[in-house]
Amino acid sequence: MKIGYSFWGFLGNGVTDTPDGGRSHRRPFIDALLDRGHDIVFLQADRDRLEVDDDLGGTYAFDDGVPDIDVLFLEWRWAITGRNTTVCGSEGHTCDLHRQAQLINHYTVRHQTPTVIWDKDRTLRTESVWRHTAHTRVCEAALAPTHGAHTLLFPVAEDLIAQANPVALAAQPRNLVLGYVGNQYDRDEPFDRFFAPAAVGVEHLVAGKWTKTDRWPHVHFLGRIPFEEAAGVYGRSLATVLLLPDRYAAVGQMTQRIFEAVLAGCLPLAPADICCVNRFVPDYLIVHSGRDVIERLSNLREIAGTQQHADLIAACVDRLRLFGLSKQVDTLESVLHGLVRPGTTERGTA
């Protein structure tokens, strides 16, 4: 199929000042689709080239018009006041939302082009018309998605899982007991409950955009770091805490932070109120309170470098198979084939 793919972010490392977590999985996902014979054209701005002067070797095709496609695939964008809701060309404006509206109007509405929406941030309204339109499908990165939606998790390449060596990772020197990479957005409550109490007594670090931190004067906030340095933070950290906004935790939507941490040998402590939490981590790493985090960290420090430590890492690596790239591509292809029947769909045209 020829897929018109709309995303607002980067395929490479991109810029530091961006919340684009999709960089950890977007390019492998797209490359896997290309390897299966699909043709992909990107329909938003080429930010790698425009903002970083990186053409990624000329590997990918971008089109700012309305090319012929078989299906429209949208990493769903939503209104962000003062950013993509402002007048085009005004200071600070990003045109992702306007471009998405153009694509939907042209393809989904006018030409009835089969359309898949990947609601990665859980911002598509439950009552949205696109959840109830015959030629549209919604995917969510959740184990308990909204009724009618398909589960499409953030993928991790199987070869990275296979290459992970728990014994070597356990033996790796770590000068941080607790590390976290990620932004503040809607995470104050779990941070207050689980991370902040433990940070009082151990070496720790928080990397990411945290703008309101007065209530945690004891926490070391580093600020945003380049995307490629996240693995280094996790590689220095004995453990992290999986901090999820409530709208993610309630449906078992785990972010890419889990495989970024685990593949670096950083053990993920998971709050017990995350839906399906035991599918993400072994029971020992499930925590109910800040006191639990403190106790687990104390024990982990005692067993660091031992076989018991390696076994915990191995159990976490094994659970990453849930996010396997091939499995996620299979899911999307199944959704696509359910929408696009051979010989029955005309391509959306300009």
Q: Is residue 242 part of a domain?
A: yes
Residue 350 falls inside a structural domain: no
Domain, as residue range, for 260: 158-323
Q: Which of 277, 280, 283 has the alpha carbon at shortest distance from 261? A: 280
**132 shares a domain with 11:** yes
User: Under a CB-based contact definition with an 8 Å cutoff, are residues 145 and 251 in contact?
Assistant: yes
| Tokens 């070597």, residue located | 168
Angle separating helix axes 290-303 and 307-319, nearest 10 degrees: 120
Say whether both 6 and 131 belong to one domain: yes
**pLDDT for res 342:** 59
Contacts of 324 (CB under 8 A, 6+ apart): 155, 156, 158, 161
Helix (H, G, I), strand (E, B) or coil at 308: helix
- The whole-number pLDDT of residue 345 equals 46
pLDDT of the chain, 350 residues: tens digit per residue? 999 999 999 999 898 877 788 888 999 999 999 999 999 999 999 999 999 999 999 999 999 999 999 999 999 999 888 888 898 988 888 889 999 999 999 999 999 999 999 999 999 999 999 999 999 999 999 999 999 999 999 999 999 999 999 999 999 999 999 999 999 999 999 999 999 999 999 999 999 999 999 999 999 999 999 988 999 999 999 999 999 999 999 999 999 999 999 999 999 999 999 999 999 999 999 999 999 999 999 999 999 999 999 999 999 999 999 999 999 999 999 999 999 875 544 555 44
Residues 139 and 182 in one domain: no
Indicate whether 274 belongs to any domain: yes
Are 133 and 171 in the same domain?
A: no
In degrees, rounded to 5, the angle at the alpha carbon of residue 43 between the alpha carbons of residues 22 and 75 is 35
Distance between CA 184 and CA 159 in Å, rounded? 31
CA–CA gap between residue 12 and residue 337 (Å, rounded): 29
> Does the residue 255 lie in any domain?
yes
- The predicted pLDDT at position 347 comes to 55
If asked whether residues 209 and 107 sit together in one domain, one would say no
- For the chain, give the number of residues: 350
φ, ψ at 96 (rounded to 5°): -60, -40
> Do 184 and 121 lie in a common domain?
no
Amino acid 17: pLDDT: 73
pLDDT for position 10 = 93
Within a domain: residue 136?
yes
Strand-pairing partners, residue 345, are none
> Number of structural domains, the chain?
2
Residue 244 in any domain: the answer is yes
| Neighbouring-strand partners of residue 40 | 3
Whether 137 and 246 map to the same domain: the answer is no
- Provide the pLDDT for residue 350: 41
Report angle CA 251, 153, 148 to the nearest 5 degrees: 60
Is 142 found in the same domain as 118? yes
Are 190 and 146 in the same domain? Answer: no
pLDDT tens-digit readout, 327-349: 999 999 999 999 987 554 455 54
Cβ atoms of residues 335 and 137 within 8 Å: yes
Residue 50 belongs to domain with CATH number: 3.40.50
Residue 348 lies in a domain: no
The verdict on 174 and 147 lying in the same domain is no
d(CA 261, CA 116): 30
Q: Are residues 235 and 251 in the same domain?
A: yes
Residues 273 and 334 grouped into a single domain? no
CB–CB of 293/195 below 8 Å? yes
Q: Is residue 30 part of a domain?
A: yes
Cβ 118 vs Cβ 22: under 8 Å = no
Is the Cα torsion angle 279, 281, 284, 290 positive or negative in sign? negative
* Rounded Cα gap, residues 188 and 204, in angstroms: 17
**CATH number of the domain that 272 lies in?**
3.40.50.2000
Model pTM score: 0.94
CA distance 180 to 198: 12
